[in-house]
Chain A
Amino acid sequence: MTRIGNKFLNLKKDKEKALVPFFFAGDPDLKTTYQLVLAAERAGADIIELGIPYSDPLADGPVNQAASARALKNGIRLKDIFSLVEDIRKVSNIPIAFLLYFNCIMQYGMTRFLSDCVSAGVDGLVIPDLPYEERERYKPVFAQYNVDIIPLVTPASKERIKKIVADSGGFVYCVTSSGVTGVRRSFGTDFAAFMRDVAQFTDTPKVLGFGISTPEQVAELKEHAEGVIVGSAIVALMANSNPANLIGDFSGFVALLKSALR
């Protein structure tokens, strides 16, 4: 079991729900990312989802695209992000998942990538452009490493849910609504029914994400899942924050989100 699995066991014992903040490694630079991860942990975050900057992020809206582009402009490489995680692991055990597009793994080399995840201390992977039809082929390789492959289900997945969540690890990423990442005012999804559909096929913790941006939304959605992911709202806050206040603004927002979960 990875740190993610252990975290959910502890949360369950304490009757708590997971707050999973998302932001990009290297936005605006790796030193800041290091500080943000530790600040998030102090502010009550349970798991960190780190975006790996990519040139063509198909599942992302404008806010995340811009953040990705900012990080890439600084010449960030995957190997630097692994070093970042190694540095974090010297001082923190907070579970870390990467969100990255499949081509990054493929070009880095799948076995090299997975073994670097294990040795650096990356616990899980969210790969938005690897649906189960394609994942099937790589399953034997994934299975050799203690890294959770976190599947995504959407309200449109319906009859696909069973296959998607089979052998899921860490958590199931439940996408709130159609479309790409980005702040939404409302979701238009019947969450009770959606989550019941997912729960029918797996005991893996379910975490809601995509468009969740305010403490009010967090409070509204918490009854439906074991946790929530807040991404674009954090990324936008970082983009708009005065660099001198960034860590403070960020920590304050994370703390607000966590208190909304309680």
Chain B
Amino acid sequence: MNRKGYFGDYGGMFVPETLMHSLHELEDAYEASKQDETFQQQKDYYLKEYAGRETPLYYAEEMTKALGGGKVYLKREDLNHTGSHKLNNVIGQMLLAKKMNKTRIIAETGAGMHGVATATVAALFGMKCEVYMGREDVERQGLNVFRMRLLGADVHPVKTGTATLKDATSEAIRDWAANYQDTYYVIGSVVGPHPYPQMVRDFQSVIGRETKRQMLEKEGRLPEYLIACVGGGSNAMGLFYPFAGDADVRMFGVEAAGLGIDTPMHAAAVAKGSPGVLHGMLSYFLQDGDGQILPVHSISAGLDYPGVGPEHAYFHDSKRAAYVAVTDDEAVEAFKFLSRTEGIIPALESAHAVAYAMKMVPGTEKGDIIVVNISGRGDKDVEIVARHMGVDLK
């Protein structure tokens, strides 16, 4: 990072002046927390005792046999409490919110996993929680909406724009601008203005650090390949970042190709986007020549976002990671494949990573090791997949 808050040319703090004071305050609190032993101990305590870390790095023997290439390991973030990697970040940020004496918590959510994780810790810490969620996502992820409400959070459906994650994020930022004095905004991915992309990456890096240690224990060496899905990109960055200095480890970020990246119905911001500014960050976005953000599509609500975190933009430009895309159909096939071969139902988001592994692994050497991040579990997606397969659950 050359300039403060930048990853190469990407990142920054492109927000209304009203929020600048709050961002600097957050940055100071976050920097201080790094040196604060009590804070670190509390974070480790909740990650272990509450979230249930560490998560297994599981050798997927059946998947390996079925694909006929290198050895596939699955990083089981789906086994975290609340069912996804999102809790890693939420625990860190909520401890920070407490430290900053904030009493009200807001969050945006796409598929609802980040919203559920935030509502969960807010319940635990006895804090008021409000979650913004696009109306379209409220409809397609009804189970998670009900979970959040059970946990005591208010869920606000966002009807503006495309009524998905992008608009939920905008609405959360607007709320924060009005209520910054008592409110902490828990961003769920490596997106937004500085210091969020860096902070969320640091909190999620527990995924990669564990993977590295577990891999050394199991195989005595590092893997050849890492694969993770990318919406905003927090599970991917959490896995990738601790390996960034290991030049022989190749990383693949898998974006949502929706109905195909040559149609308008996809969410592949790195593959088809260009540098632009939204939600406080300079990064890759799907947009037109006037800078209007384009509507995007993915079967997975968590990947249905027109941009990507700035550090991924940097990893792409510097070729540290490669970004690929798989379609809705391929993701659904992978969803079924992992369920049948390993008895693990992945989130549709994570199924994108599995789908790319299915394409890539057969071409790898027998001795190669591939780690696929299973960022979340698929219970929330069963209804969507049934619909996609033409099955009526009623």
Contact = CB atoms under 8 A, between A and B. Distances in A.
A101 B278 CA distance: 9
Interface in A39-81: 54-56, 58-62, 65, 69, 72, 77-78
Interface in B142-175: 160-161, 166-167, 170, 173-174
12 contacts: A55-B293, A59-B174, A103-B285, A107-B289, A128-B16, A129-B280, A130-B14, A131-B13, A133-B13, A133-B20, A157-B17, A157-B21
B20 A54 contact: no
Contacts of B274: 107
Main secondary structure of the interface of B (DSSP, over half): mixed
Please indicate which of the listed interface residues B20, B179, B275 has the most CB atoms of chain A within 10 Å of its own CB.
Answer: B20
Contacts of B15: 58, 129, 131
A129 B14 contact: yes
A196 B291 CA distance: 37
> Which 8 pairs from chain A and chain B are nearest by CB?
A179-B178, A107-B291, A103-B291, A104-B291, A59-B16, A55-B292, A103-B277, A156-B21
Contacts of A33: none
Interface residues of A, number: 40
Contacts, number: 117
Interface of B: 12-18, 20-22, 160-161, 166-167, 170, 173-174, 177-181, 274-280, 285, 287-293
A108 interface: yes
A134 B12 contact: yes
* Residue among B167, B177, B280, B288 with most chain A CB within 10 A: B177
A58 B279 contact: yes
A175 interface: yes
Contacts of A158: 21
A158 B17 CA distance: 11
A136 B13 CA distance: 12
A77 B288 CA distance: 10
A134 B14 contact: yes
A152 B179 CA distance: 19
A30 to B, nearest CB: 15
Interface of A: 54-56, 58-62, 65, 69, 72, 77-78, 101-108, 128-131, 133-134, 151-154, 156-158, 160, 164, 175, 178-180
Contacts of A175: 17-18
Contacts of A61: 174
A55 B17 contact: no
Contact of A178 (B166, B167, B180, B277): B180
B166 A160 contact: no
A180 B177 contact: yes
Contacts of A60: 174
Given A78-B290, A106-B291, A131 B20 contact: yes
Contact of A129 (B16, B160, B292): B16
Which of A59, A105, A175: most chain B Cβ within 10 A?
A: A59
B178 A160 contact: no
Contacts of A151: 17
Contacts of A108: 289-291
A108 B276 CA distance: 11
A186 to B, nearest CB: 14
Contacts of A178: 18, 177-181
A101 B291 CA distance: 9
Given A102-B277, A154-B18, 18 more contacts: A55-B293, A56-B161, A56-B170, A58-B15, A60-B174, A61-B174, A65-B160, A101-B277, A103-B276, A106-B275, A107-B288, A107-B289, A107-B290, A108-B291, A129-B15, A157-B17, A178-B177, A178-B180
Contacts of B21: 156-158, 160
Nearest to B295: A55
A135 B20 CA distance: 13
Contacts of B180: 156, 178
